[in-house]
Each structure stands twice: as C-alpha cells, then as structure tokens.
A and B are shown apart, each in its own frame.
Chain A
Amino acid sequence: MTTTLLRRFGHHSARRIAGAAVALAAFLGCDADRLNIPNFNESPVDQTADRALLQNAISGILGEQRAGMAGLVSNVGIFGRESFNYTSSEPRNITLFLATFPLDNSGFTNGQWDARFRNMRNAVNVIRQIAPATFINDAEKNAVRGFANTMRALDLFYVIATRDTLGAPTAIDSLSPTPQVFANRDSVYRFISATLDQAATQLTSAGAAAFPFRLTTGFAGFDTPATFLQFNRALAARVLVYRGTLGCGATCFTQALTAISASFVNSAAGADLRRGVYHVYSAASGDLLNGISRQTAPDQLAHPSIRPDAQRQAGGVLLDNRFITKVRTIPTRNAPGGIAVGIPTDVDFNLYVDQTTPIPIIRNEELILLRAEANIGLGNFAAALTDINYIRASAGSLPAIASFASATEAVDALLYERRYSLLFEGHRWFDVRRYNRINTLPVDIPQHFRVRVMPVPQAECLARGLVIGTQPELRAPGCP
C-alpha cells in the first residue's frame, strides 16, 4: 500500500504530505489539562473545612431563613386579613391571593417551600460535614449541631404551618436529592418537637463552650449555646401549644408549660415584651433590606377591619394602645388601576418603619400569650387570665377582664390579644385556623374567599409526577 502511494505521488510529495500530517498531529498532543477550568463564580463543595467556611455555612443558614421571612409575614397577613399588597405594577398580589380559587400553585401563593427545604438541606449538610472536622472540639460540634437542628426545625415549622393538613416530607438526604414521602400534619409537628428536643440536648452537652461562629445582632442575648437554648425552648413551646390545639391536648400543653419556663419568658412588672430573637437587615453591600418595610414596600397596607375590631381603653375614647402604636391612618387607597377585586383602605402599618427594622422570630409577648393559651387548654383559666390581663394592661392599656365564663370566652380573649399583640408578625391566619375559626375572617366582597392552606407548589407536583408511576407512595396531597 505504502509503495503504491509513493509510486503514484513520488517520494518528494509523499514526504511533504506526511510532514503536514505530523504537524497537525502535534497539535493534538496538547493535553486536556488546559480544559480543566474551575467555576469562578461559585463556592466549592467542601463547605466546612475551617472556621471561616463554617461561618459561611452558618451565615448561609441564617441568610436563607431570613430570605423567607418578609414573604411569610406578607402572605400570612393577606390570608389572615391583616394586610394587603397594593403594588400598582403587580395586580396578581391582589387577584391571586384573594380572588382566585383555588390558589394558584404555580407562583405567588406557593411560597415558603423551596427555600425552606433548601435551608433544611443546608442544616443537614453542616451536621454531616462537621462530623470529621478537626478544627473544633466535640463540645463545639454539639453547639453547631444544636444550632443547625433548631434552625431546621424552625424552617419545617413554617412549612407545616402554611400547609397544615397537607402535611410535608420531613426527611432530608444530604448525599443524594431523593424525593421523600409526605408525612401527615401531626407526624410533622412531632418530628419538629423531636428535632428541637434533640437540639436542646446537643446545646446542653456543648456546656459552657461558645459557638464556634458568630450570629447576627438579632440573636443578642441568645448567642451562646446556653442562652440559645432559651430560644430553642421558646420555639418548642410554640410548637407544643400548636400541637395542643391540633389534637394532642393536655399532654402537649403540659410540656409546653415546661418548655416556656425554660425559655426567656418574663412577665414581671415592666418586663420588655419585645425581648426576643429577630431577623435583622442591613443596607450594607450584599446584605438584605426588610422586604415589608414602609420604604421598600410602601404598598403593604393594613386591612380596614383593624380599626373597628380594636377595643377601647378605659374612658371609651382611645382605641387599644397596640392599634395606636402599630397602625396609622392614610388617605384612602384602593387597589391599583382597574383591579375590581380590591377594597379601599385607609390604614397602613407603623411597624417596619425603616428599611432595616428587624422582624421578630419569637419574643416575650408571644411567650406570655403561649403560657396563657396552654393554661386555657388545661382549664387553668385563672392562670391564663393573669397573663392575658398582664398583656392587656402593658401592651394595650386596656381594662382587665374579670373572669372567663367558658373556654370559648377564654379563647375569644386569647385570639384578640394575639391578633393585636402579634399584628403583622405572621400569626393570625395560623391562629384562626388552629381554632377552626377561619370563618371569622371577613369576606369583604363576594369575589373574595378564605384560604385554609397554601398549596404544594406545582413544580413539586410535576417533579413527583415523574416517579409516582413506580413509587405511588411519593404522591403529594393536593396535587392533581
């Protein structure tokens, strides 16, 4: 073959053609290492190799959780008829929340899901990754675990509080993104309690060690394992009280009282009702502003029922002091251009005045009311009355209630106090649902309807749809 070619072309030509071929082949010799180019814009997978990276991971958990806070308060506010979002360029903040039945599961009303689970995965990741770490000791590792588990439980709480009877998956596999089965509501709440209890044990076994990371100023006073435990118990108390009203009854209420006493509750005269744990905001480069502040969201208005429903102070002139301090009157506004399903309102909030005003996660005022609620559940009306009257006097400047004639009357009083004490902090919608009083929410015009649960997002349904042919147990409630 070679000789034939040579004869045909002549040796001279063949050599040159071969030379050209060699030159081309030389190019191919260059190694593929030049093609190993890193991703310059993202972080590597090894998240907790040292204290600095551990700090980044912990800050990531705090940041991801904070990212959902403003949306939670806004959504729960609309569903609970505390607030409206009248942004003129986005009519769907009105139509989809108030007048589209059933709720659209493809956007706007399907929040408090993806990022919450992503953050649970962050927590699980940190716990897994610090296990072999050598730059911190065992006590510090327990402190990290106690923190991560508390935050994971809190994220899951927001999920189940917005989904209620739909339930939610509880397990997170940090190694592979495997879909998990849905647990029912009560199982989810039990899982949250157990996770918080596990976190409490871990925080306790951290002893006197400091956290090997820094928290935000919103955790001031709760930034060591020992004091963070009070925050953990406060959350545990909230979950137990919720469970108490959702069927667990006396067992949970009793445990709740124990948890409250281990928290930072304080009903001494002149106690700071605002003491607690907050998400803080900052205008620093790369940081986040409060998304429902009056500056960042000037169209977050208050529901007009807030005024007529407020009780009057002694003398019958002044309204509940909480109304006076938290709500202000504005020129009447209606839903922006042509949105027929909005109603006029002349009130907005005095709460998040500045774009960096913190949003509370849990604070003393709620703890006192949780104690009252547990006592009502246990039939200890006198104890409950003490706490309720304490709040009425200190927060509302309202006259004391003499006594509760019935459990219903006690719950009426409790829900009123919770509504005005925790106004626009993301509670009322959960509260009326826990007591099967969704129907007490006003329907202002016939097109409006009352929401019971936020839907499982369409994307979750569709992604599960890919596997439920072979694993029918993975079907999610509420999915078509």
Chain B
Amino acid sequence: MRLFRQSLVALAMLVATAPALLAQRRITGRVTEEGTNSPLGSVSVQVTGSTTGAYTNAEGAFSLTVPNGAVSLRVRRIGYSLRTVLVQANQSTVTVSLKKDVLQLETQIVTGQQGTLDRRNAATAVVQVTSEDLNRVPAQSLEQVLQGKVVGARINMNSGAPGGGGQIQFRGVTSVLGNGEPLYVIDGVLMSNASIASGANTLTRAAGAAANIASVQDNRTNRLADLNPNEIDDVQVLKGAAASALYGSRATNGVVIITTKRGKTGTPRWSLTQRVGQASLLRDVGQRCFQDTTTALAAGTASSNAAIAREVLTAAIAANGGNIPCNNFSRQLFGDNAPAYETGLQVSGGNDQTRYLAAISRKYDAGTANNTNATRDNARINIDQNISSRLTARLDLAYTRSQSNRGLSNNGNDPNTSPGYVFAKTPSFISLQNPDTAGLYPINRFGGVGSNFANTSNPFQTFEFITNNEDVNRLVGAASLNYQLLATDKQQLRVEYFAGLDRFDQVNNILSPSILQFEAVDGLPGTSVFSNSVSRQLNQALRAYWTYTPGRLGATFNTIAGVTEEEQGLNVTRNRAQNLLSGVPNINQGQQLSFQNRELQRDQAWFVNQSVLAFDDRLYVAAGVRGDRSSNNGDVSKYYVFPTAQASYRFVNALPGLDEFKLRSSWGQTGNRPLYGQRNITFTPVTLIGGFNGIGVNAGLGNPDVAPERKTELELGADVTAFSRRLAFEYTYADAKIDDVLFQRPIPASAGVNSQIFNGGRLRNKSHEAGVTVVPIQRRDFTWVSRMTYQRIRNGVDTLPIPPFPVGNTGFGAGFGRARITQGVSTTAIWGNKPIIVRTAAGQDSIFTRDTIIGDGNPNYELSFTNTYTVGRFTLNVQVDYRNGGDLVNLTQQINDQFQNSRDYDAPSPCRGQTAANRNCIRNANGVITLLDTSSTAKLGAYRFTRWNGGSNATPYTQDGSFVKLREVALNYAVPTELTRKLFGSRVSDVRLSVVGRNLGIWSPYWGVDPEVNNFGNNNVGRFIDLAPFPPARQFFFSVDLGF
C-alpha cells in the first residue's frame, strides 16, 4: 500500500502544475467508405501530433475542437486504410472517404507496457487477431479460437471435454522446469492462467495411490477459459524477446495482450447475438468386434479369467440371438448429440465526457457424454470518463462465472475409472450401456483387480452418478487515471496511474457415491473431494509518456518510462473424505485427508523506452530497458536488467508494382523468474506417524542463489506489399538463446539429497515464420482474400551442464517414450527404448536395447490456410490447418492392444511371411534376436504389442501426428436493410445470419481420436501423450446478430 500512496502523492503534485489551455475552434465532418459511399461509424479522427480526437457516429459524422490554424487529421478505422487530411485554418467542415484494407496493414500495435505504434512501422513480427476473427465461430476457450491464427505459436487443446483446457507456446520450449506459460495481460491487468487440478486423481489414481488427492493428469482447465471472446476487441501477441522485453522477468514465454471493446461517442448502440448449435463426436477409438468365440475368450481372459470370460460371453451370445455382440463403448458413451447455445447482449455509447460499454452473455455447451457440460456467464462494464480536459479516467469491471462438469478421463490405475482406460480393458461382447428395469447397471467383469475381477468400473454407471463439478467466480477490474501534463505543438507529456485486480475462486466438487462399482475396492465406499482455490493478482503501475516533435527530419520522439509492482497469490486447499455415509456428500463424514498449497509472489520493476520515428515515418528506431526484482529470486533486492533495441525502414514505391518494402530487425532480452520456493532450503513434511507429523530432509535442495532465466533473441524480418495492395508477404526469422536455465543439479542420492536447483546451460530456438495474403479478386460484388501462413520451429538444448535427464510428467518411462533433456538434441525429442542390432566380427548379430531418440513432439512445419469469399451479402470463411510431423506416444492404443481390444486388432500383421531380415519383425528376448509371429494368421494388434515387447521397444506406439483439420467454416449473410426494416421495424439497423462450424473434419493417419490431445495438461515439454482422453467434438452453430 505504501507504493500506492507514494504514487498518488506524486500524481497530485503533477496535477497542481498544469498549464493554461490554448485558443481553439470547432470543425465537423463525415467519413464514408470509398466506392459504396456508405457512412462509416466508429472511425477515429485525431489531430496529428496531439491527443485530441473523436469517433464518428453511426451516420459517419464527427465534431472536434482543434487549435487555431491549419491542422492535419489522421482518419482511421480497423479494416480500412489510414488517411491523413489537411484542414485549412479557414475550413470548418471536411468529408473523408476510406478505402477497405483487406490486408490489415494499417492497424495499431502495442509495443510493450501500452505504448502503441503503427503496424507498418513495427520492427518486430506482429500478430494481431481482431474481434471479427475471434468471434466468427464460437469456441470453448480463447486458445481454441487462436489455433492456426497465430503464426509462430503451437496451440493445442488437451482434450475435448467441455469447458476448455488448452495451451499456447510461442517459438518453442523456452523453459524446462520453470514457468512455461505466456504472460496474459487483459486491459493492463496481469491475468492468471492457472490450471488447478480438480482432485479427480482420487478416483482415477492416475498419479498412483490414494495419497495423491490431485494430479496434473486431472484434465485441468486453465483459466483463460473464463474470457468471453465476444468482449474482446483484439488480441496481440508479443512473441519475441525484443517485443516483450518491457514485461521483464515474466516475458520469456511471450506476452498475450488482450484488449476488450470500449464505448464510443454516440447514441446507444445495441447488439444482440443468439447462437444455437450442436456438438457431436468427431472420431472415436472404436472397439474390436470378435469374429469367433476363441478370440473373444482369449481377450476376455486377458482382463479377467477364463471362467468369467466364458460365462459372460455365453450369456452375451444368448441374449444376442446367437451372435457375438459388438459394443462400440466410446461411441455409446461419448456419442451424444450435445446441444449448445450462446446469448450475448452488448450496448455502447457515450458523449464527450463519458463513454461506456456494457456486455452480458451466457454460453452453454453440453459435452458429448452423459452429464458433461460447461456454462459460462460473463458481464462487463468498461467506462471512460473525461474529468477535465486534461484528466481522464478509465474503469473496467468484468465478472465471470464458469461452471463445468467434465466427467473422468485420461490416465488411470486400479481400480480403473477413466472410461478410455476401462474400454481398452473390456471386450466388446459385454454390454455396459443400459441399466436394467430396476435401474441397475451391468457389472463390468473385466479389467478389475482382486480375485473376483469385479473391482473395476462401468463408465456408463460412473458418468450417470458421479459429480465432477468446477465452479469459478472471477472478478477482473482495472482503473486508471491519465493526466495530460503538457500539450504544445512540439511536445506532449502525460502520466498514468494504473491499478488492476484479478481475483477468482475455484471450487471443485467431486462426489463418487458408494453405489458405484469401483467404490468398494479400497474398503472405503464413497468418495468426496472438496477443493477451494483462491487466486488473487494485483498490479499497479505509474507510467509517463512523452512525445517530442522537434519539426526537423519529420522526426517524432516517443519516451515511455514507468514503474510497476505486481503480486500473485494462490491458495489451494483440498479435502477428501472416503467411506461416506450413504447419501451424505459432506466431507465431515468418513475418513478425511486434506491438503493445502499456498504461494505468494511479488515483483517490482522500472522501465524506460525511447523510440524515434523519422524521415516521413520511414525510419523507426527504438531502445529500451527494464529492471526487475522478484520475491522468487535468491537475491530479492537485485534488479535484473533486460534491454531491447529495434529498427525498421520502409522503402515506399521503390520499384514498379512494389508498394512498400520494409526491413526490420530487433534484439532483446527477457527473463523468467524462478518458481515460488526454489530459493528456500527447507525441511519437508514426511508423513503423519503415530499421531505426530514427521519432517525430514528435502530431497531437492533449494538454492539461495537462484536467478531468472534469460532469453536473448535476435529477430530479422521483411514485409512486402505489392500490386496496389493486392499482395502482402511477411517473413520473420528468430534466433533465441535461453541462458541461466533452471535445472536440477543431480547430487548422488547416497549423500542424502538428490538434487539442487541452479541456473545453467542454454536452450536454443530458431523459428521461421511466413505469411502471404493475396486478393485474387476485388470487385464490388465479389472479393476473395486468401491467406496462408507457414511456421517451422526448432527448439534444442545447446549446452547442458548436467547429465541427460527425463522430464517429469512427460510420459511413463523409457518403455513408453518420454522427454529427456540432452545436450545437442531437440528439447521436444521423445526418448524411449529401441532395439539396436550389432554385427560382431564373427558375423553374429547381437541385439541390445537402448534408450534413444524415437520421435519428436515438435512438428516439422505447420501451415494454415484461410480463405474469405464475399459475394454480395454473403461471406464464406474457411480455415484449414495442416501439421506435418509432430509425434505422439499413443498409449491409448497400447492398452487396447495389451488387452486385445483395439479396433484393428484382427487386421493382418505386416510380418506375415517375413523373416528376421525384416528388422520390424523381431524382438529382443534377453539378448537373443527372436522372430515375431510371421504366420499367415498373424494379427496387427498382436504384432504391435509383441513388438513393443514389454517396453523394450517403444517405437510401435510412437506415432506420426500429421493432420489436416477443417478448423472453421463460417457462412454469413447480411440481411438487406429493406428486409430488416420490414421484419423488425426501423429501430434495427443491421441483421446478420450465420451458419458456422468448428473442427468439422480431420484427415490424419493417426490412430487416436486427435493428435492434439495431451494427458498431462499444461506442460512445458511433454505435450505428446495420448492416454484415454475425452474425445474432441465437432460443433455446428446457427446464429443471428441484431444491431439496433
């Protein structure tokens, strides 16, 4: 609070010294679209070299108070080319027409800490996703919308469960053990994107025994899911270190700057959006259909015993008219046609003093499985207030309630409860789906433990009766005061005080009633987990913006300086009770276990940035520096300094047909502070024993010298616009070195500790990003805009001061494949066991098993194609993404094969008729080369599983994840005004109808449901484990947008 008081005092001092106002006059005008002459609303009209400006109303009209004498006006609107018009001293009205900017070259971009710059001058690669792109097709969460729209990013949704859960990574892996999430800033508020586990591990036991209430395998949602894309005006991404340097020691992973919509001067404008849609299963895992009783019995025996398999099979055949039934469990469970709807109402308007925007919305998505759904309610009010001609204020308040019911999914252990896991162990001849007339579900007799094999689950029963509810209440607020200290024709100086708050509580409630089949296994029937997490983030800043236009060389100097303090607190408590009284979900009942984790982190920083725009806006040069200190660093009083330098030059009309050619280069450094607690040497709780808490040595030693990781990145690029703006091309190369990487230094465990965190080594990432936009057809009645982006990212470990080590939560050991950090090798390489055959001098072949590279989770390259066709009042937008490469570890298939239930199990083995000369048809049997089944009846599933050989060959299940996805299709019709008037009356100004779809199709050789799923959720390195995920859905919507 001391900081807050200091800044207010300072601000008050500045206000007291304000100068008198200058002599003024008034001008009015109108802005229209070139060609159609239709009026353009929401156009910004600004007096060049000042902060004076206004917006046009719906009729395209504006009015402005300007200084006496001639002034030049900058007239701009997103989607149109910027124009500068001169208004003579004696002129009081002006008409301006704007040309459509289909290439989006004219927008403004953020250059860090809220400075802005025209995009055409930017010295770094800019990614900007506009409101229109964000809202064309509804999505579960913001990252899903951004898929394919941000060149240089890897974005994937971890599962298809309703409510979100995705992750974004820019330009490769930038940290191994530290934080790997980008920094999210919404209207200046540093926003939490925490992924807090639900506690489902209690039921799935994914991370082992019951002692773990929660785990990273709980199919977590990250809290980006709380944002409503409809409230967002634009999303900008600062990928490189130069662009994000002014965000200091939290910016290594990139910064995502989200700006919400704001009110504009004029009468209230309402917009109502109503969408109705449906989700359905995109792909399913399927199930093996048994052709004969021998194979059915063999499969049944593999997950039970022969007697039970025979008993169940006999009954199943009898009930099915003499044929072996075949149940496709995953389609039965996840195959619902799930309704979805979204309703949103926004109003904005204002006068010279006050502008406002208010929005309210509800979105509901049912999951494709029984009792799964997500509901999000958003409300927002953004207010801008002119307090005096020099003092303006801004106040934003947004409330979100996100609720979801996500069922169970992902990895599991005994007793198996995750459906994909259970289905892999259950032969398709048993019917599990339908309860009997008394409402009792069939007992699953397969995949269980213990002597009667009944200790497993029936997922249909589980999904019918289980609760896995998440309820998030979130408040995001921002306030700022902006004071114009100086406004002369040569210089302007303003200061801003900003304060932001992001607070949410997340309540997770898991109730597994005692009637469920698996609940009796541990002798403690009935499980309830209640978790309450409270996150609170505060940030405040004092910033000064100084613009100086000396009047020579067309130069403008911009200086931004500021200081900030940021605080993040997170307190997670979980309580679990087992052995519940029947019908009593309260955790006061039964046998309890509780857990708490509390974190508090605070940073302080200063920064200054100086830029010059000269030679008729052709040359742009900037340099800046930020000093950061953090409670997470070993030395909390030391400022770590991160500099940046950037330059660009535009060649205008240098060659015929070449409108503009820009060269840009930038260099910068950013940091990634250590994680909470890494600086502390502590003792750790061991266990409760004999009624007392035991504490002991912490196996991982803290380090009082721990410091931020540091990324140094050089970025080079060129932007071209040609053929009267019918073609735009941009290319960027970035080379990043991450030094002082946080690693665990191994200590021989016989010393009593086994590791210590320290800074060392270097990661090296290189990326190529390119984009081409062409306008093959641009006529009044038909426009076709086509855009293609390409990205190729390579991330590697340059120097590693410690031995290679497997990264936690990236897999299940060498037998299955997991990430292993090794010097000189890709960070995302998948390492696992592989047989190596060596021919000795005597001509004898011998076989070894080696832990080596068997794949890479990082794609070779990715392409995204977007085509927009506008024919009259119809617009069709299609986005198709292609990924080349990117391997997965397909453990879903592995367990299906192990229990002889994979859908293609009976397909012919590629080893039929082969010999040992075919190295894919052998396995290592204790050092002896042994031939797999090469008979004419050998089966594919058995081939994969025996080749895997108990884990001595992980290659059969490390598979290519290349795909083509039809991500978005949107057909939009703008109803003619005459028809609108006839239907809705004159109050309604525009009506649009759309039919849209997301994830409509996937074409991939990959066996699993989706190559973009990940068992471990948000994770720096391991994003390639497919293990019994909630399968993704395709979604269709019909929507109506009304403006009035």
A331-357 vs B, Cβ < 8 Å mask (1 yes, 0 no): 111101111010000001000000100
In the bound complex, how far is the Cα of B10 from the Cα of A461, in angstroms? 60
Residues of A within 8 A of B414 (CB): 87-89, 298-299
State whether B750 touches A169 (Cβ < 8 A). yes
A157: shortest Cβ distance to chain B, in Å? Answer: 15
Q: Decide if B689 touches A95 in the complex (CB within 8 Å).
A: no
What's the Cα separation between A217 and B650 when bound, in Å? 81
Asked whether, in the complex, the Cβ of B815 is within 8 Å of the Cβ of A92, the reply is yes
With A30-B3, A118-B752, A179-B750 known as contacts, the answer to whether A35 contacts B450 (CB < 8 A) is no
CB nearest neighbor in B for A59: B694
Is A465 positioned at the interface, with any CB of B under 8 Å from its CB?
A: yes
Say yes or no for B259: interface residue by CB 8 A criterion. Answer: no
Closest to A90 in B: B413
Selected contact of A285 from candidates B11, B682, B688, B802, CB within 8 Å: B688
- List the 9 closest pairs (A to B, CB-CB), nearest first: A121-B752, A23-B10, A27-B563, A42-B682, A216-B690, A60-B694, A59-B694, A63-B694, A337-B302
With contacts A16-B485, A122-B697, A464-B748 taken as known, whether A30 is within 8 angstroms of B491 at the C-beta atoms is no
Asked if A131 CB lies within 8 Å of chain B CBs, one says no
| A382-402 contacts to B (CB < 8 Å) | none
**How near does chain A come to B1027, taking the closest CB pair, in angstroms?**
11
Contact across chains for B750 and A284 when beta carbons are under 8 A apart: no
Contacts of A286 in B (CB 8 A): 593-594, 687-688, 693
A107 / chain B contacts, CB cutoff of 8 Å: 813
Query: Cβ of B522 and Cβ of A30 under 8 Å apart?
Result: no
Across the interface, name the chain A residue whose C-beta is closest to B941. Answer: A338
Residues of B within 8 A of A39 (CB): 676-677, 680, 682, 702
Any chain B CB within 8 A of the CB of A36?
A: yes
Task: Choose one: B591, B637, B682, B696; the contact of A35 (CB below 8 Å).
Answer: B637
Interface segment among B35-43, B221-229, B597-605, B985-993: the answer is: B597-605
Whether A16 pairs with B694 at a CB distance below 8 angstroms is no
Q: Contact at B750–A56, with CB atoms within 8 Å? A: no
- Chain B: residues with Cβ within 8 Å of the partner, total of 119
Contact across chains for A12 and B19 when beta carbons are under 8 A apart: yes
Determine the chain A residues whose CB is within 8 A of the CB of B680 once the complex forms: 38-39, 42
CA distance A321 to B695 in the complex (A): 42
Please report the C-alpha to C-alpha distance between residue A298 and residue B898 in the assembled complex, in whole angstroms. Answer: 21
Check B302 against A118 for contact (C-beta < 8 Å). no
Residue B455 at the A interface, CB < 8 A?
yes
- The reply to whether the CB of A34 lies closer than 8 angstroms to some CB of chain B is yes
Q: Is the CB of B17 within 8 A of A19?
A: yes
Cα–Cα distance between A336 and B453 once the two chains are bound (Å): 11
Counting CB contacts under 8 A, is B767 at the interface? no
B302, B631, B702, B754: the one contacting A338 at CB < 8 Å is: B302
- Inter-subunit contact B689/A285 (CB<8 Å): no
A100 within 8 A of B: yes
Is B377 at the interface (CB under 8 A from chain A)? no
Which of A's residues lie within 8 Å of B, judged by CB? 9, 12-13, 15-17, 19-24, 26-30, 32, 34-45, 47, 55-64, 66-67, 87-92, 95-96, 99-101, 106-107, 113-114, 117-122, 124-125, 168-169, 172-174, 177-180, 214-217, 280, 282-289, 291, 295-296, 298-299, 330-334, 336-339, 341, 348, 355, 447, 449, 457, 459-460, 462-466, 474, 476
Chain B residues whose CB sits within 8 angstroms of the CB of A57 once the complex forms:
694-696
- Whether A106 pairs with B694 at a CB distance below 8 angstroms is no
B49 CB-CB contact with A under 8 Å: no
Known: A20-B14, A336-B303. A92 touches B750 (CB 8 A): no
Given contacts A20-B561, A59-B693, 13 further A-B contacts (CB under 8 A): A23-B13, A45-B682, A59-B695, A62-B689, A64-B694, A88-B447, A95-B951, A125-B697, A285-B592, A286-B594, A291-B209, A298-B521, A457-B749
Q: Which residues of B contact A296 (CB under 8 A)?
A: 209, 522
Q: Across the interface, do A465 and B544 meet the contact criterion of CB distance under 8 Å?
A: no
Q: Is B6 in contact with chain A by the CB < 8 A criterion?
A: yes
- Select which of A43, A55, A90 is within 8 A of B683 by beta carbon: A43
- Complexed CA–CA distance, A119 and B695 (Å): 10
- Residue B838 CB within 8 A of the other chain: no
A220 nearest CB across to chain B (Å): 11
Question: CB < 8 Å: which of A32, A90, A217, A299 contacts B690?
Answer: A217
Residues 421-435 (chain B) with a chain A CB within 8 angstroms: 421, 425
B294 at the interface (CB under 8 A from A): no
Residues of B within 8 A of A449 (CB): 926
Residues of chain B contacted by A285 (CB below 8 angstroms): 591-594, 688
Is there an interface contact between B748 and A87, defined as CB atoms closer than 8 Å? no
A59 to B693 alpha-carbon distance, docked (Å):
6
Closest chain B residue to A53, Cβ basis? B695
Decide if B698 is an interface residue (CB 8 Å cutoff): yes
Interface centre among B455, B544, B752 (most CB of A within 10 A): B752
Question: Is B485's CB under 8 angstroms from A20's CB?
Answer: yes
Tell me, yes or no, whether B925 is within 8 Å of chain A by CB: yes
Report yes or no: B690 in contact with A466, Cβ–Cβ below 8 A.
no
Most A CB within 10 A of own CB, among B2, B522, B693: B693
**A462 neighbours in B (Cβ, 8 Å):** 746, 803-805
Given the interface contacts A24-B563, A30-B2, A337-B898, does A114 sit within 8 Å of B606 by beta carbon? no
Cα-based distance from A281 to B86 in the complex (angstroms): 86
* Residues in A whose Cβ lies below 8 Å from that of B481: none
Q: Is the interface of B mostly helix, strand, loop or mixed?
A: mixed
Q: Does B125 contact A (CB under 8 A)?
A: no
Give chain A residues whose Cβ lies under 8 Å from the Cβ of B694: 56-64
Most interface-central of B680, B686, B754, B926 (chain A CB within 10 A) = B686
Tell whether, in the assembled complex, residue B686 and residue A338 are in contact, meaning their CB atoms are under 8 Å apart: no
B697 touches A118 (CB 8 A): yes
Could you tell me if B751 and A99 are in contact, using CB atoms closer than 8 angstroms? no
A16 with B493, Cβ < 8 A, contacts A59-B690, A114-B754 known: yes
Cβ-closest chain B residue relative to A346: B451
- The CA-CA distance from A436 to B694 in the complex, in Å, is 40
In the complex, the chain A residue whose C-beta lies closest to that of B301 is A334
Q: Complex formed: what's the CA distance from A44 to B682 in Å?
A: 5
Q: CA A196 – CA B971 in complex, angstroms?
A: 82
B47 on the interface (CB 8 Å rule)?
no
- A177–B631 touching, CB < 8 Å: no
A299 to chain B, nearest CB (A): 6
Shortest Cβ distance from residue B812 to the other chain A in the assembled complex, whole angstroms: 9
Once bound together, how far apart are the Cα atoms of A287 and B694, in whole Å? Answer: 10
User: Can you list 17 contacts pairing A with B, beta carbon distance less than 8 Å?
Assistant: A19-B17, A20-B561, A26-B10, A29-B6, A37-B631, A39-B682, A43-B684, A45-B682, A56-B695, A285-B592, A287-B687, A287-B688, A288-B689, A296-B522, A337-B899, A460-B748, A462-B803
Q: Which residues of A contact B439 (CB under 8 A)?
A: none
**For residue A459, which residues in chain B have a CB less than 8 angstroms away from its CB?**
746, 749, 754
Report B67 CB to chain A, min CB distance, Å: 17
Contact B522 A295 (CB under 8 A): yes
- Shortest Cβ distance from B547 into chain A, in angstroms? 12
With contact pairs A16-B17, A36-B631, A449-B926 given, residues A118 and B696 touching in the complex (Cβ less than 8 Å): yes
Q: Does B817 sit at the interface, judged by CB under 8 A?
A: no
A88–B746 Cα distance when bound, in Å, is 33
Which residues does chain B contribute within 8 Å of A45, judged by CB atoms? 681-683
Structural contact, A179 and B455, CB atoms closer than 8 A: no
The answer to whether residues A35 and B598 also contact, given A119-B696, A330-B451, A466-B802 and a CB cut-off of 8 A, is no
Known: A23-B542, A177-B701, A177-B756. A35 touches B751 (CB 8 A): no
Complex partner residue of A99 from B413, B693, B815, B926, CB under 8 angstroms: B926
CB <8 Å contact, B683 and A37: no
B1006 touches A (CB below 8 Å): no
Proximity string of chain B (540-554) to chain A, C-beta cutoff 8 Å, 1 when within and 0 when not = 001010100000000
User: In whole Å, how far is A291's beta carbon from the nearest beta carbon of chain B?
Assistant: 8
Which residues does chain A contribute within 8 Å of B952, judged by CB atoms? 100
- Establish whether residues B606 and A24, one from each chain, have CB atoms under 8 Å apart when the complex forms: yes
Q: When the two chains form their complex, are residues B522 and A333 in contact, meaning their CB atoms are under 8 A apart?
A: no
A13 touches B17 (CB 8 A): no
Beta-carbon contact of A333 and B451 below 8 Å:
yes
Cβ B689 vs Cβ A23 within 8 A: no
Q: Are A43 and B682 in touch, CB under 8 angstroms?
A: yes
